Structure 1
C-alpha cells in the first residue's frame, strides 16, 4: 500500500502546488495589470504562467523523486531526465520574460513617439535585441544540458588544449555567418535601414518587412519576398527612399509632337493634381526636357508623402493627361511622316524650281 500512496502523495502534491502557484501568479499579474494600465508589462508576463509551472513542477519532482522509491534502480536516469527538463524549462521561462520586457518597452515608447522614422528604428533594434537574447539563452541552456553528462566534461577539458587551432578553423568556417551577425548588429544600431523602409535593391522596389541577425526580407510591390543576407546592406550601395523622411518627388515623361500645346498642358496638369488625393501639394511643374527630329520630351514633376502615394499620383497624371490630349489635342501625339521627301533644288538663281502646294520644292 505504501508503494502506491507514497508516489501518489509526492507526485500529486507537486502537481497541486504547481497549479496553485500558477493560479496565484496569474491572479497577482492580473491585478497588477489593472492597477498599471500605462504599461503592458504585467499583461505580457501572464504568458509566462505555463513555463513557470513547468519549472516549479520539475523542481519539486527533482528534489523529491527519490522519496517516491519509483524505479530505484533507475534513479540516476530519472534524475538526469528531470535535470534536463528543468534546464530547458528555465530557458523557456527566461525567453518569455525577456520577450515581455522588450515588448513592453517598445509598446510604451510607441505610445508616445511622434516620429515615424525613429519609431521604426527602435522597432528594428528591439527586434534584433530580442533575437540576440533568445539565441544566447538557447546556447547557454544547450551547453548546460551537455555539461550534465560527465563524458562531455572530459571532452571539453581535452578540447581546451587545442582551443587556439579550433578557434582559427571555426573562425574561417563561420566567416560568412559571423559577418552576417555583425552586419545585423551594425544595421540595428547604425540606423542604416529599418523595418518599414522603402528600398531599391538589385533594381527591385519594395518595403523592408523583416530583419534578423543573418538575413533581411524585402516585400516587393507585387507581394513577392526577396531574402538576402544583411551583409549586402553593409557592403553594397542601395537606395533607401525612407531615409531622411518619406516625402518624395517623382517624374512623368511623354514623347509628343513638336506642335504639342505645352502651356495648355501646364494648366491641365494643375487641374489634374487638384483631383488626385495622393498629391501633397508641395510642388509640381511641366517643362520640355529634350527634343528629337520627330518628337519632344515633356516632363512633369509631382510630389507625395511617400513612395506608394507617389506611384499612384504618377500613374494618374500620366493616364489623365494622355486622355486629355487624345480628346482635345490629337495632333500633339507623336506620328510618323509618310509624305515624299523634298528634292534638292538645282543650282541657280532660284527661278529654275517651284514649290508644290504642300510646301516641298520640285
Structure 2
C-alpha cells in the first residue's frame, strides 16, 4: 500500500493537472481583464472595487473545478479518496457561487442607488428606489442562502435519508413549528409588501405611537424609527400594515406648518398679515409657496388666529413655525400690546346711579 501511495504519477496526469491550472489562470485573468475594461467605460459605470469584490469567489469557483479533476488525485496519489475530493469540490462550488451571487446583488444595488441622492431636499424618488432595493436585496440574499444550504445538505446522502425520515415521522412537530413560525413568516411577508406597496420609505417622516421621527432602517421583520430626541423606536413590519400611522412625506417632502395665536378682539388682522409676509420673506426657511393669516375661532375671551406657511420638509417647517411664533408675539408686544389676550371687568356704581335718578 505504501509503495502504491509513493508511486510516481504518470506524465499524462501531470500534463492534465498543469493544463487545468493554466486554463483556470487564463480564465481568471481574462475575466478580471474584461471587468476592469468595463469598469473604465463610462457607459457601464461599474464601481472601482467591483473586481476586488468578485475576484475571490470567482477564483474559488475555478478552484472547485480543479479539485474535481481525477488527474489531480492521480498526481497526488490519492485515488482512493475520490469521493472526498468530489464532496469538497461540490461544497466549495456551492459556497463560492453563493458568495458570488450575493456580491453581484450588492453591486447591482450600488450601481442603481448611487444615481439617487437620499440627502437632497427633493428626495422622494431616491427614497423609493433605496427602500425597494434595500428590502429586495435582503429578500434575495435570504432566499439564496436558504437554497444554498438546502443544496449543500442534499449533497450528503446520509443527511438526505435522515431528513426524509424526520419529515415522515414529525407531523405533530411540524404543526407546532408552523404555529411558532407564523408570526415570523407574517413579518417577512409584511416586509415584502412594504417593499412593493411602500407605505413607508427610508427617511420618511412619520408619527407612530405618538412619537415624531424618521424611518431609519427597514428590514424583513422590523422597522427602526429615529425619534427627534435621538431615541430609536423599533416596530415589527406588520405594524405598518395593520395599524394606522401618519406619514408626512408619503407623496412629497414639502409640508404646511401652522402657528396659532390667541389674541384680543382689538388685534389688527391686516397688520398681522403684513408682518407675517415680512417675516417669511426675510428667512430662507420659507419655500415661497404658501403664507396666510386666518381667524379660525372666536370665544368670549379671545380670538384664535392661525398663521399658515409652507416649507421644503418637516424639520424646516418646525424651525419656521418656531421663528414665526416668536416674531409675531414680539411684534404684538411692541406695537399692539392691547391686542394681547386679557380679561375685562366692568364695575357699576349703584350710588351714582341713584343720584342720577334724583
TM range (shorter): 0.7 to 0.9
Residue 43 of structure 1 and its aligned partner are, at CA, apart by: 5.6
Offset, 1:149: 2.8
Per the alignment, residue 40 of structure 2 pairs with 34
1:52 aligns with 2:55: no
Cα shift readout 1:293-348 (whole Å, capped 9, x = no counterpart): 544332211112221221122122112222323333344444578xxx666765x9
SS at match of 1:350: helix
Distance (Å, rounded) in 2 between the aligned partners of 1:3 and 1:240:
74
**Residue 206 of structure 2 corresponds to residue 203 of structure 1:** no
2:256 counterpart of 1:249? yes
Which of 330, 350, 355 is 2:353 aligned to? 350
1:77, distance to aligned residue in structure 2 (A) = 5.2
Closer, same or farther: CA 73–279 of 1 in aligned 2, 3 Å: same
Q: Within 5 Å, give how 1:1-362 maps onto structure 2.
A: 21-35=27-41, 37-41=42-46, 45-46=50-51, 47-63=53-69, 66-69=73-76, 80-105=87-112, 116-162=123-169, 165-334=172-341, 350-351=353-354
**CA 1:292/1:352 → structure 2, altered by over 3 Å: closer, same or farther?**
farther
- Give the CA deviation at 1:10: 9.8
Look up the SS of the partner of 2:294 in the other structure.
strand
Is the Cα contact below 8 Å between 2:213 and 2:228 reproduced in 1?
yes
Distance 1:223 1:293 in 2: 42
CA distance in structure 2 between the aligned counterparts of 1:4 and 1:97, rounded to whole angstroms? 44
In structure 1, stretches of 5+ residues that fail to align are: 355-362
Distance in 2, matches of 1:75 and 1:94, equals 28
User: In structure 2, how many angstroms separate the alpha carbons of the residues matched to 1:4 and 1:108?
Assistant: 61
The range that moved more, 222-231 or 42-51, is 42-51
Root-mean-square deviation over aligned CA pairs: 3.7
Q: Is residue 38–residue 46 contact of structure 2 (8 Å, CA) maintained in 1?
A: no
8 Å CA contact 1:198–1:208 kept in 2: the answer is yes
Within 2, Cα distance between the matches of 1:33 and 1:184?
A: 34
Aligned to 1:360: none
What is the distance in 2 between the residues matched to 1:70 and 1:224? 64
State the shift of 1:103 in Å.
4.0
- Matches of 1:77 and 1:123, distance apart in 2: 44
* Alpha-carbon distance, 1:196 to partner: 2.8
1:192 and 1:269, CA in 2 relative to 1: closer, same or farther beyond 3 A?
A: same
- Contact kept, 8 Å, 2:286 with 2:309, in 1: the verdict is yes
Q: What SS is found at the alignment partner of 1:351?
A: helix
Please report how far the alpha carbon of residue 234 of structure 1 lies from its aligned counterpart in structure 2 after TM superposition: 0.5
Using structure 1 for the length normalisation, give the TM-score: 0.79
How big is the shift at 1:353? Answer: 8.3
Q: Deviations over 1:43-92 (max 9, x none)?
A: 67523111111221233124355235477887755654454333211110
Segment of structure 1 superposing worse, 274-283 or 321-330: 321-330
